[in-house]
Amino acid sequence: MANGIKKLPSLSNVSPGARATLECPVGPTYKRLHIVASGTGLTAAHIGKIEVRVNGKTIQDFKDLQRLIDINGYYGRPADSATGWTIHLDRPEASDLVYKRLTGIGTADVQTMDVLIDIDSAAPSDIALEAYAEVSEPMPLGPFVGIRTFPFSSAVAGEVEIDKIPRGPRIMAIHCFKGDVNAVVVEADGFKIVDAKKAVLEAMQKGAVPRARVPMSAKATTVDFMLEGDFAQTLVTGPLKDFRVRTDLGTSGAMDVVVEYLRDFQVG
């Protein structure tokens, strides 16, 4: 079938303090999921954790709606808000049409695909959610974008090493969500792939072609391996024996490390 826009089934369990579930019919290839929300006084803070799952396994997770909005904003995608947001399964910032479409979620050979949305107990009582999808012809599940969050906490400021980021898939980007991450070093088998201050990383991101980035300066520092929109430039981690990320923190405290992977379902 040609590209189309599909209204998805009604979400279940949409109420304050509940976890709403969107069951996506299997068959088509999903490019983007659009959620439309309403409710008296509804804000982004009323929407908590968001997970995309295939066959019951989480492939993308966002701490909350604001985190999804921030990451979409970094890539210069159309603005999201509490009343409408988009989960991008494709990569509109890629360098050509093949790459743009590569990571759509093909469901021709999967049993289930669903989205879980946590609703805060303080959300308006009349909250409502509905969902639409941009879809294309049925395809089996191929490469897709995995987004995973790894909470981290440091008792000290200064250089801190993070050595528990899972290896295996290619890494597209690493977002360190803490406002005072002053520099980042990425080291693979003892070789420094990235060694740069926040200002240098952001200058390169603003000049990215074909799609300039919009750095999240007040919230996060990002290492982006796809500034030219080329999947071939993603960081291969499968063969690595040692992989480390070191950050220079202005203060101690909590930091979320959000990793965007290019992966396949067999990787886990």
* Residues 67 and 106 grouped into a single domain: yes
* Structural domains of the chain, count: 2
Q: Which domain holds residue 244?
A: 145-267
Residue 65 sits in a domain whose CATH number is 2.60.120.730
Mean pLDDT of 188-195: 95
* Residues 131 and 28 grouped into a single domain: yes
Lowest mean pLDDT among 3-17, 47-61, 108-122, 156-170: 156-170
Query: What tokens appear for 141 in the block?
Result: 């599940």
* Residues 110 and 193 grouped into a single domain: no
Alpha-carbon gap, residue 166 to 244, rounded angstroms: 10
pLDDT in tens, 242-265: 999 999 999 999 999 999 999 875
- Which of 142, 172, 193 marks a domain boundary? 142
- Which of 99, 121, 142 marks a domain boundary? 142
* Residues 11 and 120 grouped into a single domain: yes
More confident residue, 266 or 240: 240
* Residues 116 and 237 grouped into a single domain: no
What pLDDT is attached to residue 268?
A: 35
* Residues 105 and 196 grouped into a single domain: no
Across the beta sheet with 113-119, the strand order is 19-23, 113-119, 47-54, 57-62, 144-154, 253-263, 170-177, 221-224
* Residues 169 and 218 grouped into a single domain: yes
Alpha-carbon gap, residue 76 to 69, rounded angstroms: 11
* Residues 176 and 246 grouped into a single domain: yes
pLDDT in tens, 10-46: 999 999 999 999 999 999 999 999 999 999 999 999 9
What pLDDT is attached to residue 2?
A: 62
Residue 267 has pLDDT above 60, yes or no: no
Q: Which of 90, 115, 109, 110 is nearest to 100 (CA)?
A: 90
At 209, is the pLDDT very low, low, confident or very high (cuts 50, 70, 90)? very high
Mean pLDDT of 189-198: 96
* Residues 113 and 166 grouped into a single domain: no
* Residues 138 and 8 grouped into a single domain: yes
At 97, is the pLDDT very low, low, confident or very high (cuts 50, 70, 90)? confident
Residue 266 has pLDDT above 70, yes or no: no
* Residues 122 and 152 grouped into a single domain: no
Query: What tokens appear for 228 in the block?
Result: 């030219």
Q: Which of 45, 39, 36 is nearest to 8 (CA)?
A: 36
* Residues 8 and 54 grouped into a single domain: yes
What pLDDT is attached to residue 265?
A: 54
φ and ψ of 45, to 5 deg: -65, -15
Check if the beta carbon of residue 156 is closer than 8 Å to that of residue 247.
Answer: no
- Which of 142, 160, 195 marks a domain boundary? 142
